[in-house]
Amino acid sequence: MINISLNFFSRIKRREIIIDGNNFSILADIINGKVIIYEKKHRIVKSFLKPENYSFKQQHLNIMKRDYSKLCSLNEGINVTKLIDKLKFNSLQR
């Protein structure tokens, strides 16, 4: 079984993805650019540092270059926006 936890709405500057499986756990610290893999008694740390706003800048550079291959479609963007709205609504109901 895999459990994925995401928090999009925290005012705390922390962006992490946590995946817990049967024999492993993965912690991806997006802000600090690290992935930590825990497997049995082993701990593996990988770094993937990118400058702040890297994805945002790359997205806009691709638009200006008319390279749409790495961008989502309009329908995908609308679906992501709807999902975020639902998550916000559900978090306010708690």
List the chain domain ranges: 1-49, 51-94
For 75, the enclosing helix (H) or strand (E) is helix 74-93
Closest CA to 4 of 24, 26, 23: 26
Query: Residue 36 to residues 18, 75, 88: CA-CA distances in angstroms?
Result: 10, 34, 28
Percent of the chain with pLDDT over 70: 87
Stated pTM of the model:
0.52
Contacts of 7 (CB under 8 A, 6+ apart): 14, 15, 16
Q: Quick check: 60 pLDDT over 90?
A: yes
pLDDT interval class at 4 (50, 70, 90): low
Contacts of 15 (CB under 8 A, 6+ apart): 7, 29, 30, 31
